[in-house]
A and B are shown apart, each in its own frame.
Chain A
Amino acid sequence: MLELLGYADRFSVAPGEVIEFKVSAFEGQRFRAEIVRLIHGDANPDGPGYKHVVVPSAIEGEYQGRNQPIEAGSSGVVPHHPAFAALESFTLLAMVWPTTPAKGRQAILALGEDLVLAIGEKCGLTGRVGSTTLESDAPLLKRHWYLAALTFDAASGRATLIQRPLHGYPGAPDAAMVSATAKGPGLADAELLIAAEGNPRRNHLNGKIDSPRLLACALSPERLEALLVRPLAADLLPDLVAAFDFAEGTRTTRIHDVGPHKLEGRLEQMPARAMKGWCWSGEEMCWWRKPEHYGAIHFHADDLHDAGWSTDFAFTVPDDLRSGVYAAHVWCGDAEDGTQEDLIPFFVRPRRGDRNRPKLAFLAPTAAYMAYANDQNHIRGEAAEMVIGRLVTYQPADIFLHDHPELGLSLYDRHADGSGVCYSSRHRPILNMRPKYSSWLGATGSGLWQFNADLHITDWLESYMEVEFDVITDEDLHAEGLALLEPYQVVITGTHPEYHSTRMWDAMRAWIDRGGRLMYVAANGWYWRIAFHDELDGVIEVRRAEDGIRTWEADPGEYHHSFTGEYGGLWRRQGRPPQALLGIGFMAQGFDICSYYRRQPDSHDPRAAFVFDGVDGEIIGDFGLIGGGAAGLELDAVRHDLGTPPHTLVLASSEAHSDIIMLVNEEFGVVPPNLKGSEHPNVRADMTFYDTAAGGAVFATGSIAWCGSLSWNGYDNNVSKITGNVLRRFLDPAPFR
Chain B
Amino acid sequence: MRYQIQPEDRMLVDEFRQNPYGRHSPGLLRILNRMRCVPLDGKYVLVCTKPFREWKLAIHGDRQRPIEILHDHVFTSREEAEWAVFKLRWKALTGEELN
Chain A positions within 8 Å of B, measured between CB atoms, are: 43-45, 336-338, 379-380, 382-383, 385-386, 389-396, 399, 402-403, 436, 438, 444, 592-593, 656, 658-660, 678
Tell me which of A44, A337, A391, A403 contacts B45 (CB under 8 A).
A391
CA distance A171 to B48 in the complex (A): 55
Whether A593 touches B22, Cβ cut-off 8 Å, given contacts A386-B37, A393-B78, is yes
Nearest residue in A to B62 (C-beta to C-beta)?
A: A380
CB of A391 within 8 A of CB of B44, answer yes
> Smallest CB–CB gap between B32 and chain A, Å?
8
Tell me which of A336, A380, A385, A393 contacts B36 (CB under 8 A).
A385
CB of B51 within 8 A of CB of A393, answer no
CB of A389 within 8 A of CB of B21, answer yes
CA distance A396 to B54 in the complex (A): 13
CB of B51 within 8 A of CB of A43, answer yes
CA distance A402 to B47 in the complex (A): 13
> Smallest CB–CB gap between A162 and chain B, Å?
36
CB of A678 within 8 A of CB of B23, answer yes
Whether A390 touches B78, Cβ cut-off 8 Å, given contacts A45-B52, A380-B40, A678-B23, is yes
CB of A659 within 8 A of CB of B23, answer yes
Q: Chain B 38-51 against A: per-residue CB contact (8 Å), 1 yes, 0 no?
A: 11100111111111
* B95 interface residue per 8 A CB criterion: no
Total interface residues on B, CB under 8 Å, equals 33
CA distance A337 to B43 in the complex (A): 24
Nearest residue in B to A392 (C-beta to C-beta)?
A: B45
CB of A399 within 8 A of CB of B67, answer yes
* B63 interface residue per 8 A CB criterion: yes
Whether A438 touches B23, Cβ cut-off 8 Å, given contacts A390-B78, A391-B82, is no
CA distance A291 to B63 in the complex (A): 39
Residues of B within 8 A of A678 (CB): 23
> Smallest CB–CB gap between A135 and chain B, Å?
28
Residues of A within 8 A of B48 (CB): 337, 393-396, 438
CB of A393 within 8 A of CB of B63, answer no
Which residue of A337, A386, A391, A660 has the most chain B CB atoms within 10 A of its CB atom? A391
> Smallest CB–CB gap between A171 and chain B, Å?
34
Tell me which of A338, A402, A660 contacts B67 (CB under 8 A).
A402
Once A and B bind, how many residue pairs between them come within 8 Å at the CB atom?
83
CB of B47 within 8 A of CB of A659, answer no
> Smallest CB–CB gap between A394 and chain B, Å?
5
Main secondary structure of the interface of A (DSSP, over half): loop
CB of B46 within 8 A of CB of A391, answer yes
CB of B67 within 8 A of CB of A394, answer yes
7 pairs across A/B with beta carbons < 8 Å?
A: A43-B52, A338-B51, A389-B21, A389-B32, A394-B67, A438-B48, A658-B24
> Smallest CB–CB gap between B86 and chain A, Å?
10
> Smallest CB–CB gap between A339 and chain B, Å?
11
CB of A394 within 8 A of CB of B46, answer yes
Tell me which of B32, B37, B39, B47 contacts A393 (CB under 8 A).
B47
Nearest residue in A to B66 (C-beta to C-beta)?
A: A403
Residues of A within 8 A of B22 (CB): 389, 444, 592-593, 658, 660
Residues of A within 8 A of B55 (CB): 393
CB of B20 within 8 A of CB of A390, answer yes
CB of B21 within 8 A of CB of A386, answer no
CB of A402 within 8 A of CB of B37, answer no
* B7 interface residue per 8 A CB criterion: no
Nearest residue in B to A656 (C-beta to C-beta)?
A: B23
CB of B51 within 8 A of CB of A386, answer no
CA distance A674 to B39 in the complex (A): 27
Residues of A within 8 A of B21 (CB): 389-390, 444, 592-593
Q: Chain B 1-28 against A: per-residue CB contact (8 Å), 1 yes, 0 no?
A: 0000000000000000000111110100
CA distance A592 to B36 in the complex (A): 14
Residues of B within 8 A of A45 (CB): 52
CA distance A336 to B52 in the complex (A): 11
Which residue of A43, A336, A337, A385 has the most chain B CB atoms within 10 A of its CB atom? A385
Tell me which of A43, A390, A403, A658 contacts B23 (CB under 8 A).
A658
* B58 interface residue per 8 A CB criterion: yes
CA distance A333 to B22 in the complex (A): 39
CB of A393 within 8 A of CB of B82, answer no
* B31 interface residue per 8 A CB criterion: no
CB of B78 within 8 A of CB of A391, answer yes
CA distance A593 to B79 in the complex (A): 13
CA distance A655 to B29 in the complex (A): 19
Nearest residue in B to A338 (C-beta to C-beta)?
A: B51
CA distance A110 to B67 in the complex (A): 37
CA distance A379 to B67 in the complex (A): 10
Residues of A within 8 A of B23 (CB): 593, 656, 658-659, 678
Residues of B within 8 A of A396 (CB): 48
CB of B47 within 8 A of CB of A394, answer yes
CB of B63 within 8 A of CB of A659, answer no
> Smallest CB–CB gap between B62 and chain A, Å?
8
